Structure 1
């Protein structure tokens, strides 16, 4: 196993990202699992920590299989995996129903995690996107596309572990990419952690309280 827990992975990522300190960095975490990882990076870089709310849209008969993803925003961004949709026989109505369910979960998380909290400014900043790992890359790709639309100066993806082919595909979405482990045999993200217990809503809220956004504007 590569990492003791998410905090350990975050500290190791922070070392790999040390050159970004003092460069007007904003750290964005994918909740929930990405938050403890990102917190270590934000602390080390003395950077604001915020969230990018994105949800996988799973095939109705195989929820773990991504047929798309949706990202929060004034106009939610939807990414569809047409190949998976067609191979799974998912109808347009079924996709729309799954999309609506994930959008509702994003809204729940936005109210719970963010509420009236000020949001970090993205435009013109060096934005580092962090998760606890990547499998297929569907949700990550959607998140990166949404952030790119908000005009960051530089877009960086940093994760502890991901399959090599997924990393190759995601490089074209960002200006820089750091991944500590790219195993040939992947399986699942949890295989690379000694402790991969689920991160609770309460932990996300508590972590964000440690990183208040200073001098920020309110952004959806």
Structure 2
């Protein structure tokens, strides 16, 4: 019988995800933690694989009046990525979200600068890029990150997470060469339900993990 919580915290989830990924052969792998919680998971994955760790930044664009309901996402550069089904359901057009898009892009750029701390990004062309998050719910931020990273011409682009909503994982396969989930439960309601400790990850923790990886 499954424990009440599958994972103690993001670090344990990352170790278990790393064990799954270590069963494969990778070409010069680079682990990219999706900020912020994905960096904690990615740090553990990178340790298991003996691979370097870098950060990917994407920001959710929330619906008007429902900021937690992601209808799109944006990275520091490149066009925003919208979930057409959510837009249709809410009767929204991208133009109506332009202010939210600008605000989230500005925050994405701020975070990218803060996290890199003057360090150039790890080279990405020709490598296996493993984009890691603490979980996949709607998939909007993961999709935006993957589309931005595709422009870096990787050898392969893989998304991996300890737990994924089955529908979101299936939909993400159009943007990743492979989607790997330790769990894809039909009873999925939220990422946090699978963690005993799902406290918010702060900027300082992200910076420390990137500097010590």
Separation in structure 2 between the aligned mates of residue 183 and residue 83 of structure 1, nearest angstrom: 22
Given the superposition, is the C-alpha separation of residues 136 and 103 from structure 1 closer, same or farther in structure 2, using an over 3 Å criterion? same
Establish whether residue 25 from structure 1 lines up as the match of residue 29 from structure 2. yes
Given the superposition, is the C-alpha separation of residues 164 and 129 from structure 1 closer, same or farther in structure 2, using an over 3 Å criterion? same
Structure 2 counterparts to residues 112-191 of structure 1, below 5 A: 112-191=114-193
Give the conservation status (yes or no) of the 8 Å contact 1:124–1:152. Answer: yes
Kindly state the Cα deviation for residue 201 of structure 1 after the two structures are TM-superposed: 0.8
Among 55, 58, 70, the alignment partner of 1:54 is 58
SS at match of 1:116: coil
TM-superposition CA deviations, 1:129-184 (whole Å, max 9, x none): 00000101111111111111211001111100011111111123222221011111
Give the conservation status (yes or no) of the 8 Å contact 1:126–1:155. Answer: yes
Separation in structure 1 between the aligned mates of residue 40 and residue 128 of structure 2, nearest angstrom: 20
Where does the alignment leave 5 or more consecutive residues of structure 2 unmatched? Answer: none
Kindly state the Cα deviation for residue 92 of structure 1 after the two structures are TM-superposed: 5.2
Separation in structure 2 between the aligned mates of residue 94 and residue 209 of structure 1, nearest angstrom: 39
Give the conservation status (yes or no) of the 8 Å contact 1:29–1:38. Answer: yes
Separation in structure 2 between the aligned mates of residue 20 and residue 204 of structure 1, nearest angstrom: 27
Among 82, 86, 89, the alignment partner of 1:87 is 89
Separation in structure 1 between the aligned mates of residue 94 and residue 155 of structure 2, nearest angstrom: 37
Given the superposition, is the C-alpha separation of residues 127 and 91 from structure 1 closer, same or farther in structure 2, using an over 3 Å criterion? closer
RMSD of aligned alpha carbons:
1.6
Structure 1 length-normalised TM? 0.89
Given the superposition, is the C-alpha separation of residues 47 and 77 from structure 1 closer, same or farther in structure 2, using an over 3 Å criterion? farther
SS at match of 1:112: helix
Give the conservation status (yes or no) of the 8 Å contact 1:70–1:99. Answer: yes
Given the superposition, is the C-alpha separation of residues 154 and 116 from structure 1 closer, same or farther in structure 2, using an over 3 Å criterion? same
Structure 2 length-normalised TM? 0.92
Kindly state the Cα deviation for residue 19 of structure 1 after the two structures are TM-superposed: 3.4
Among 182, 188, 200, the alignment partner of 2:202 is 200
Separation in structure 2 between the aligned mates of residue 2 and residue 131 of structure 1, nearest angstrom: 16
